[in-house]
Structure 1
Amino acid sequence: MTTDAGTPGRLQHGAKAPARARKAAPSDRSLLRGAKRVVVKVGSPSLTSLAGGISAEALLSLVDVLAARRLAGTQVILVSSGAIAAGLAPLGLGRRPRDLATQQAAASVGQGLLVARYTQAFGAHGITVSQILLTAEDLMRRQQYANAYRALNRLLHLGVVPVVNENDTVATHEIRFGDNDRLAALVAHLVKADAMVLLSDVDAIYDRPPQAGGVRIPLVTGPADLAEADIGSAGKAGVGAGGMVTKVEAANIAAGSGIPALVTSTANAAAALAGEDVGTWFSVNGSRRTPRLLWLAHLPPIQGRLVPDDGAVKAVRERHRSLLPAGITSVRGDFEPGDPVELADPQGHVVARGLVNFSSYELPRMLGRSTRELASSLGRQYEREVVHVDDLVVL
């Protein structure tokens, strides 16, 4: 993690937490009007001009909205794409590069330019900004996660607007978030936000393309509400990296972990934060998870697959039990103890993820056998779960 705020001191013992937003019905977007802490994400297409580079007009317009909200008392965390886009023109590049090394170079040049623009724009309102650069590893390791939380929380209490981005300069394919939409959802969970707003160049989610007569979907209470919707695929062209698919995924991550989310256009930013009926609102459909389980559900590279029988699947999914060797029918992949693996039912549907206690070399001779039998024949170290319930998250 990188921050211009230095290493923050610990909050004093007994210090009061910030006042939380008033209680509201899960589908009530008016919660945004009273939210005390909001994560707002803006994508590259919303900030760039037709000629390339950052659009001063677009950036200033967004900052005016966020600054007004900050001055009204709301703590605002801005997750902003645009570093790579800002670095294209100075490097003489006509479009977003495909190779990682050139993306890293463009991000290195563009990140400073982007933050300088935000510093100047928010400064005109008397608001200080900071730069926070994260990699997925910062949310994989407990100490780094705690450090990121302390830094962000302290900045917010000091009245600063943190500008967060993925650390594209050092991130690799193995540790990338993949898009800033998902990063925003994880940051919202990290800072215990009251709500998340995802801004793009599309005003809402539609059941099919608007130009084909699509109808806006105003409310999503669960995945079933989008089962028939045509939301396309992740964007691959231009200056952005995501698309509506990544926004839906991010909104579902947030809503599934206790944080409502709104997907709308940057032009609707003011109306969205005022709780008006714009965009698509994802109401809460789950409770806040521990950082460990949130990481396990969305971040780790999966090293293998375990296939439990129907009884074991039911025990894991419905009764929240550990996975025992007796209930496993097959093992796939190459993994070591402690690696993340997925659990798939006999039909191939992934139902959970977990940290495995045995290697892919050890497991085949354990399948279908009880822990007592294994302890008797192989040793006491085998009298334990393959995946303990505390290291398992149902998807």
Structure 2
Amino acid sequence: MTQKKRIVIKIGSSSLTSLHGEISRRKLKRIAEEVVELKEEGHEVLLVSSGAVAAGYRKLGCVERPTALTEKQAAASIGQGLLMEAYSEYFLSHGYVASQILITRTDFSEEKRYKNARNTLKILLDRGIIPIVNENDTVTIDRLKFGDNDTLSAKVAGLVDADQLIILSDIDGLYDSDPRKNPNAELVRDVKEITPEIEASAGDPGSAAGTGGMKSKIEAFKITMASGIHAFLGKAGVRGLLLDAANGTASGTYFTPAEKTLDSRKQWIAFNSGPEGTVTVDQNAKNVLTAHTGELQAEHVISVSGRFKNGAVVRLKDENEEEIGLGIINYSSEQLQHFRELDEEAKAIVDSEGLVCRIDVPLPATI
């Protein structure tokens, strides 16, 4: 009997659009039919779908995909509706309801909103709905973007405690070198660790329709591997690929999670919180923190950069600017600055009141 899974599927623009940059009904129908096959097997499925800008820019009157932010946002506002209409039509014809979730990076970086998004998506999945997630390109500015839907799909997979992330691409897996340049490049079947060699082999974006390349996919797989999520990279358009990928029999590359993984809370700290400042500590504090035998006391703080409140996530560094880890700070930046001006007796009183910070996520980590 097939093991029932919660599966996140990332679908790139090139997997959905025609050579003319518009939605290919044929491509979308094929993907929708394979999603239905997964549903019929009892799997829960969530889509992270690109294609809004690609689907909408010609309707906006642009001959080519726009580069100006305002035009891309306008194209997305047209294309997102067309995309959802097409998905909903196909899924409803098979008795399944689709829902639209448009998010921004702020929905992930603020812990309360992160939990709200998590709860909403879990209810939809529990009720058999097929959520379709995309970044809200209509209002998101560049500095607040996820960067690409590869990264977004990995973060969404962690958000919903997925069993597997499947990334559909215009390439049939990870190669040991760029197959477009090296005809002797070999497909890597299984990856258990993202090595420097793998990172070096990642090239630039390969499709004019999308924004992500192999490099962005490697970054996404770093997140899934650290989060305990199995992942797969394969070529869109291959008949039966999604079901085969779920069963472990597809042609492509499988990414196995690390032995030590992060729980939901630490995933948020590592991948989504966006550290609000940096606290530099002395060598004694570094030794204690990295050995996990104690917590950071205020007297070992050398300097503070950035402005943050107590309860914020901060980056911890040593005197050589080497990153130690991420942690939730128990004092504000103003309090820590004030502490450095106290005499030794006053410092001892503050230190006796409790810890300043502990390492929640060690660095260097896969982030």
Paired with 1:230 and 1:344, the residues of 2 have a C-alpha distance of 30
Name the CA shift for 1:99/1:292 in 2 (closer, same or farther; >3 Å): farther
> In percent, how many aligned pairs have the same letter?
36
Equivalence for 1:252: 222
Name the CA shift for 1:237/1:359 in 2 (closer, same or farther; >3 Å): farther
Partner of 1:148, secondary structure, is helix
For normalisation by structure 1, the TM-score amounts to 0.79
Name which of 326, 329, 338 aligns with 1:356. Answer: 329
1:346 Cα shift? 4.3
Amino acid at match of 1:289: L
Paired with 1:278 and 1:370, the residues of 2 have a C-alpha distance of 66
The answer on whether the counterparts of 1:39 and 1:197 sit within 8 Å (CA) in structure 2 is yes
Equivalence for 2:60: 91
Kindly indicate whether residue 257 of structure 2 is the aligned counterpart of residue 300 of structure 1: no
Amino acid at match of 1:231: A
Partner of 1:223, secondary structure, is coil
Equivalence for 1:214: 185
Name which of 74, 88, 93 aligns with 2:43. Answer: 74
For normalisation by structure 2, the TM-score amounts to 0.85
Paired with 2:188 and 2:288, the residues of 1 have a C-alpha distance of 35
Matches within 5 A, 1:211-290: 211-212=181-182, 213-224=184-195, 226-227=197-198, 229-233=200-204, 235=205, 238-268=208-238, 269-270=241-242, 271-286=244-259, 289-290=262-263
Name the CA shift for 1:361/1:344 in 2 (closer, same or farther; >3 Å): same
Equivalence for 1:52: 21
Amino acid at match of 2:104: T
The answer on whether the counterparts of 2:225 and 2:261 sit within 8 Å (CA) in structure 1 is no
Name the CA shift for 1:256/1:117 in 2 (closer, same or farther; >3 Å): same
Structure 1 unpaired stretches of 5+: 1-21, 23-32
> Deviations along 1:120-141, whole A, 9 cap, x unmatched?
2223333221112222232334
Kindly indicate whether residue 125 of structure 2 is the aligned counterpart of residue 156 of structure 1: yes
1:157 Cα shift? 3.0
1:86 Cα shift? 1.2
Paired with 2:67 and 2:317, the residues of 1 have a C-alpha distance of 33
Amino acid at match of 1:183: L
Name the CA shift for 1:204/1:298 in 2 (closer, same or farther; >3 Å): same
Give runs of ≥4 in structure 1 deviating > 6 Å. Answer: 368-372
1:57 Cα shift? 1.8
1:358 Cα shift? 4.1
Question: How big is the alpha-carbon RMSD for the aligned residues of Structure 1 and Structure 2?
Answer: 3.1
Kindly indicate whether residue 87 of structure 2 is the aligned counterpart of residue 118 of structure 1: yes
Name the CA shift for 1:366/1:205 in 2 (closer, same or farther; >3 Å): farther
Amino acid at match of 1:171: T
Kindly indicate whether residue 311 of structure 2 is the aligned counterpart of residue 341 of structure 1: no
> Deviations along 1:253-310, whole A, 9 cap, x unmatched?
1121111111222134333233115222111115553444222211234443333344
Name the CA shift for 1:357/1:146 in 2 (closer, same or farther; >3 Å): closer
Q: How many residues align?
A: 359
The answer on whether the counterparts of 1:44 and 1:239 sit within 8 Å (CA) in structure 2 is yes
Equivalence for 1:101: 70
1:362 Cα shift? 5.0
